[in-house]
Structure 1
């Protein structure tokens, strides 16, 4: 497989990229995971067992409470038609492999799972091949072990659009994120229960959290609305 242009260009850029990465970490605003419940029941109608899992975005970093985050917004949307029994299993900094280990502790069964992963796989230099293998195992676990009949797989975010990242670091990370997302699409295409969700959100400063790295409550609501629509289309 030919080497991509950004992979060639990053070699002479290594000193600059390393300096930018250190500066980003030093200046980063550390936002906590929001307070609030991580499991519960909400709404009326047919029973729907829902799992939300992944990294800091799944955990709701950037929102003040879980009600404003992905889990709370999604449960609110779905609760209009279902009695939603939901659980959030997500941790800041988690990669796909971390999430697999975390889910191994679960004994519950679910009807639908929603995943949000990839940013930490990018920053930890996980290759596309490794990412595909890990995502394949994750989808196997969610469907076979945890019983999910449907998995909504959120695409790897476009990291080149993160306000907190300077260029050329944003470009390099964005290209790697795009590669991992291509791999993710391949994995999803081989899993009948899975569907890939592309988050093409507009360039609106109100959609970024204070740290310039995570979604804002407004972005979480748009995300939750898209996920809910995909779930309702299958109902």
Structure 2
């Protein structure tokens, strides 16, 4: 989106952003395990990395969140050793810092959920692309990741918590971020973009109108499991 198109809206967008932060309920990260071993079969070392959605905000427990549903779907075919490195509000730069500070180890597959906080934080597309490149390189070189799944940004232009025109502006930025992500991933054999569709209806959204519900986490986990197993 060209800056000249949004410049006249800047004061209104700022006020709407402040309003959304004030009135939107801040849901907690759900309780539950963030690492463990489960299942039978071939060994699979799995890392889930990212933001509040990766951390399961919107679900009541980690069992109902992305991590819990994903490991359950994989556990019939794999002996999974898994870890969840995610937190509410975390962006790409902060996730990269987490990786840089963590001790080196090995993961067969990494599922990433990042981008929404980068969109709302106002970073440029070039910065976004460079951060995804750094994430992929760090995961590949330091953590020996064989499969890196970048989850596409959700359709922010449909988020109930966002008023117009803020919803339109952030949604347009999210689409641009996705286009940039897809172009970047197309240059790497070890990366994929994970797309999944969930209707923007009450059952598929958390109470804050911003995060997924456990139903949507189930759809996400199903698509992630298919993508992880498809390369075997």
Q: Tell me the TM-score normalised to structure 2 length.
A: 0.97
Structure 2: stretches of 5+ with no match in the other structure: none
Partner of 2:96: 100
Partner of 2:201: 204
User: Are 1:64 and 2:60 counterparts?
Assistant: yes
- The 4+ residue runs of structure 1 with deviation greater than 2 A are none
- Select 1:144's aligned residue among 127, 132, 141: 141
- In 2, the alpha carbon distance for the partners of 1:191 and 1:10 equals 34
- Select 2:41's aligned residue among 31, 38, 45: 45
Partner of 2:87: 91
User: Are 1:174 and 2:171 counterparts?
Assistant: yes
- In 2, the alpha carbon distance for the partners of 1:149 and 1:226 equals 18
- In 2, the alpha carbon distance for the partners of 1:34 and 1:106 equals 26
Structure 1: stretches of 5+ with no match in the other structure: none
- In 2, the alpha carbon distance for the partners of 1:225 and 1:98 equals 27
Please tell me the root mean square deviation across aligned C-alpha atoms, in Å: 1.0
User: Are 1:213 and 2:210 counterparts?
Assistant: yes
Q: How far 1:90 sits from its partner (Å)? A: 0.6
Q: Residue 57 of structure 1 aligns to a residue in which SS?
A: coil
- What's the CA shift string for 1:81-139, capped at 9, x where partnerless? 10110000011111111000011213221000000000000011011000000000001
- In 2, the alpha carbon distance for the partners of 1:103 and 1:37 equals 20
- In 1, the alpha carbon distance for the partners of 2:131 and 2:56 equals 23
Aligned residues: 231
Q: Tell me the TM-score normalised to structure 1 length.
A: 0.96
Q: How far 1:8 sits from its partner (Å)? A: 2.4
Partner of 2:31: 35
Q: How far 1:69 sits from its partner (Å)? A: 0.5
Q: How far 1:199 sits from its partner (Å)? A: 2.3
- What's the CA shift string for 1:131-180, capped at 9, x where partnerless? 00000000111112101111111011221111100110000000111111
